Structure 1
């Protein structure tokens, strides 16, 4: 009710609170009372954004950028022309949820841009998301290996719409021979997927999957089974440090809008792969953990994305890379500039410059990372990051 001053609105809220007690059948039921605040959110998209926060483990502090990218992948940020606008839409939702007392900022003064759900709010969100039955959403994030038995329950997979298994290092594979006809969201980041060669074989049976997050695992490549998920719109494989190549079969993902591959070892891609992905809007290949030259991708794979890409993350290891990116008229969202000991001249000459104030390539940059060397043979050191 923040910002509501009319007595009539407060009277209506009081009646809603009384009604919530009657519906639940328990006067002391906190979930039905908290749901009134959920019901008072401005629009259904904001409600869904709140529910998605419950995919993270209990008491978990979530970086705003991470949760906003999750909302983006679920199509909840409205219309945007570039990633700067997308993040602005996301921050507006974060602020609105905070003002509604449904989302908290971290109490740690050293953690900026971090949010969390109160335990009761999270319980309410999961209760609402599952329609009170506990089966549409399955959240086993941050639990111990005892849930391995639950994952073998075929009925659980058959009925679930969203499943979150994040932050389970014990999880190395999905159960074999399972079907998930209703599953649209699957989150398995920060697990051990990839330690076993057959860990994702059953994923090809998830035919209606639109959102897949497999970031921060140990995949050595992109399983071809993923390329058979024809309805996929969001794929995050970031921080799988051993992924070094892209299969041509990725072009079969005709609905894919968001392909996130940051902090992998990808240095090249099949020619015209990305331009053949008809719906692609955001592509992130940037890596600040390891020097990966992506000159081949810059020269051979990005021309076909002019006019339709809303955000690009990329490495640049030379002035030539910078100049070529400037010719593409593709909005660069994240740039990691690797400076070698062979490059000379004023430092600013090694970085991108806008040709004019509305230059579409550099005007909406959110993150600029500079990685160089100390001396001619010293270790690589990260320079300042600008933006997120």
Structure 2
């Protein structure tokens, strides 16, 4: 299935070869003519790839698929060769700008000798062109048509995570039935009232079980009846220890501050099951609660009985709400007959379809499209996910032939098995532009119900070169956000937590199944049930650390992505920690993305410099590593380096200035002074995040970072000052400050600050907000107060921020009220209040005393 995005690979190769910068580089190295010949061969093949993709999908032509597969392998080899040219170009730049005479002499006698490199790379290019021309000669026998441009496009709609519930159609009756069961007194089989009731919701995938459970969970009547509410996503894993931790975390989030909840989660990792169950009983004892166990798959009755016995220590009337696809699981777990969620009626399905396919009222202008829509809805068989996905696909498309092609697509006629991916999802995927399909496929590297972060996804896509070329003044993060918005518009992903400048999102199980299906030839998630790695796989994730250590074989040397999961503190902590960095990783010479978050090794090998194609390296939360080899600075292709949470790291490596392609760096170090001259030399640096640098008093002196757009500083307990000078950070747009207890704002001068371009400002654990920041009133679009536990009132200058669109309050328990004349914020579109009990009471929708003051705001979300 990976052949379905081969066009995007061809397009990126041709775009790169046509770029002025690459042409100049190839002339310097001496392979310009060879690469121009290769471009001609690529263009010849690229012209028919879109037609070949479509024919292969519809006709299931095995010979055509093999033809595409051969081309794909040649393309990947071509990418690697072009990348080698990039590496050599950057090595020359570093040698020219930073190298000593000794370095230059050594380079001449090494394998990087320009004459030797030119000869080798020219031979590789000729070999690739020869292979490509041989395969391309067969294109005519498939009767392929020339299609020069990928015309598929996604029309993004305005999306906010918190309006999803109001978009639910046709479930009022189901909701009231579940509400009635939850409000009834609990009774066991003997008529007693001290039994905990278990209410299952059953239905096929995509029918809306989780959505229904959310509707109930967030109902005011439930909040009044159950002082404690917990939401636990179970999915494939029914590991008792992990479930106990999830429930305890849910309790902690409910009755403690967000910061305290993070501390609790860290402590829980060190506990055994006996300690955890004792803590759980103490948390629940005597309390009336509702716990939702979402997406149960495991049919092991013994495990369920074990979990049930642990959570029985509760007050009278506590309930468990379960969602599952399995009737047998529902019968096993339920204490009442399960609620069988049925398909939507044709009328409700059509209402849902029209809501997502048209802007409000637009459907009345297109009765012919509505008629076609009725036929499409009928094919969706009352499954809301299918209805919403196809409606999103057709949003803002008014050509009759486009709607007819969806209605008449042959995929509807394919025989389906019980667990097949919904045709609607596959059809929607096929209509995505080629670049977006490849981005989507990368989600297959992560387990079901994984909570993605926008920055994390951006880093992955950027490192692998999957993103379209940025427009003028755009960064890779901007492009990634644009792609994410397109996926949200297709209903393939759903925002679960929006924090203003970034958000967390998930995907439905069926959508995850689709990602696995389309990426199965290239991406693989390794676990004990699936330990074998086939040849030609490019992207790997390891659910179990042992498999990461044992999986080497020569066929993996072309791997580009390695993601390794969290390792618990009691595992793999022997004295020979360098063994935790497998030798085979260093032999994957084309590796682009290496995520070793939560690793425990103490030594990073000197030979890390062999990974010269590496774009992304994360050592995040490695709490044992003390020093990095200076050879890490030979990774001139590196775009992102994460050292966040490396609490024992004594110093940053020398010659950091050699990382000339670095765009983003997160730093945790024991240094009291950062290497300012080296950091100042990182002329492409866009994001800088400094975290847990306890010895740092002032991170910069006169350092100028002319490309910096985001600056974040958190948990630097001795930080005293920070210059926000337009002359030093002329492009700064996003700034966040969190939990820096000794930080003073006195050095923020209004005359310097008045011309800053800040669009996003985040305060966390801050009480005194400087008056001088009012000067940003002309540019600031997003303002976030996160975990400001002592904040009681907003400064008056907030009302002067004429450009403010997004205003968010999270975990500000002492904040008494919003300004009475908040209506002065004419541009304000989104107001979000979460975990602010006083504000919740006063501004509760419809019933709050001051609700009228904010009811005019287009999108408001006020939750406990």
| TM-score, normalized by the shorter chain, greater than 0.5 | yes
Does the CA contact (< 8 Å) of 2:639 and 2:662 recur in 1?
yes
Matched, 1:103 2:493: yes
Does the CA contact (< 8 Å) of 2:606 and 2:632 recur in 1?
no
Partner of 2:401: 8
Does the CA contact (< 8 Å) of 2:651 and 2:669 recur in 1?
no
Matched, 1:360 2:756: yes
Does the CA contact (< 8 Å) of 2:566 and 2:598 recur in 1?
yes
Per-residue deviation, residues 323-379 of structure 1 (Å, max 9, x unmatched): 4656623425333473439x7xxxxx6585754886226x23443334689xxxxxx
Which has more radius of gyration?
2
Does the CA contact (< 8 Å) of 2:441 and 2:519 recur in 1?
yes
Matched, 1:54 2:444: yes
Does the CA contact (< 8 Å) of 2:725 and 2:752 recur in 1?
no
Shift of 1:19: 9.1
Aligned-partner SS, 2:566: coil
Partner of 2:432: 41
How does the TM-score come out when normalised to structure 2?
0.35
**Structure 1 residues 73, 359: closer, same or farther in 2, change over 3 A?**
farther
Shift of 1:96: 2.7
Does the CA contact (< 8 Å) of 1:138 and 1:162 recur in 2?
yes
Distance 1:107 1:320 in 2: 32
Does the CA contact (< 8 Å) of 2:609 and 2:631 recur in 1?
yes
Per-residue deviation, residues 38-57 of structure 1 (Å, max 9, x unmatched): 2322461x334323333333
Match of 1:216 among 616, 621, 634: 621
Does the CA contact (< 8 Å) of 1:82 and 1:364 recur in 2?
no
Distance 1:323 1:350 in 2: 10
**92-101 vs 67-76, greater mean Cα deviation:** 67-76
**Structure 1 residues 313, 319: closer, same or farther in 2, change over 3 A?**
closer
Partner of 1:191: 599
Shift of 1:168: 3.8
**Structure 1 residues 189, 270: closer, same or farther in 2, change over 3 A?**
same
Aligned-partner SS, 1:98: helix
Per-residue deviation, residues 268-291 of structure 1 (Å, max 9, x unmatched): 223410122343232222x2x564
Match of 2:453 among 50, 63, 71: 63
Partner of 2:581: 174
Does the CA contact (< 8 Å) of 2:726 and 2:753 recur in 1?
no
Does the CA contact (< 8 Å) of 1:235 and 1:259 recur in 2?
yes
Does the CA contact (< 8 Å) of 2:700 and 2:722 recur in 1?
no
Partner of 2:818: none
Distance 1:80 1:5 in 2: 30
Aligned-partner SS, 1:284: strand
Match of 1:137 among 538, 556, 559: 538
Does the CA contact (< 8 Å) of 2:522 and 2:539 recur in 1?
no
Does the CA contact (< 8 Å) of 2:538 and 2:560 recur in 1?
yes
**What RMSD over aligned residues (CA atoms) do the two structures have, in Å?**
4.1
Matched, 1:293 2:696: yes
Matched, 1:340 2:742: yes
Distance 1:356 1:43 in 2: 45
Shift of 1:298: 0.9
Partner of 2:563: 164
Distance 1:7 1:203 in 2: 56
Matched, 1:260 2:666: yes
Shift of 1:67: 3.0
Q: Indicate the structure with greater helix content.
A: 2
**Structure 1 residues 329, 265: closer, same or farther in 2, change over 3 A?**
same
Does the CA contact (< 8 Å) of 1:82 and 1:310 recur in 2?
no
Does the CA contact (< 8 Å) of 1:174 and 1:202 recur in 2?
no
Aligned-partner SS, 1:260: strand
Superposition pairs of residues 225-374 of structure 1, within 5 angstroms: 225-261=631-667, 263-285=668-690, 287=691, 289=692, 291-295=694-698, 297-300=699-702, 302-303=703-704, 305-306=705-706, 308-314=707-713, 321-323=721-723, 325=725, 328-330=728-730, 331=732, 333-336=735-738, 338-340=740-742, 350=746, 352=748, 355=751, 359-360=755-756, 363-370=758-765
Partner of 2:7: none
Partner of 1:153: 553
Shift of 1:319: 10
Aligned-partner SS, 1:11: helix
Partner of 1:378: none
Partner of 2:531: none
Per-residue deviation, residues 309-334 of structure 1 (Å, max 9, x unmatched): 22223468899734465662342533
Does the CA contact (< 8 Å) of 1:255 and 1:279 recur in 2?
yes
Shift of 1:259: 1.6
Aligned-partner SS, 2:708: coil
Distance 1:43 1:358 in 2: 43
Aligned-partner SS, 1:140: strand
Distance 1:40 1:80 in 2: 27
Does the CA contact (< 8 Å) of 1:141 and 1:167 recur in 2?
no
**Structure 1 residues 38, 265: closer, same or farther in 2, change over 3 A?**
farther
**Structure 1 residues 322, 132: closer, same or farther in 2, change over 3 A?**
closer
Relative contact order: is structure 1 or structure 2 higher (C-alpha 8 Å, sep ≥ 6)? 1
Does the CA contact (< 8 Å) of 2:622 and 2:646 recur in 1?
yes
Distance 2:519 2:653 in 1: 36
Does the CA contact (< 8 Å) of 1:176 and 1:202 recur in 2?
no
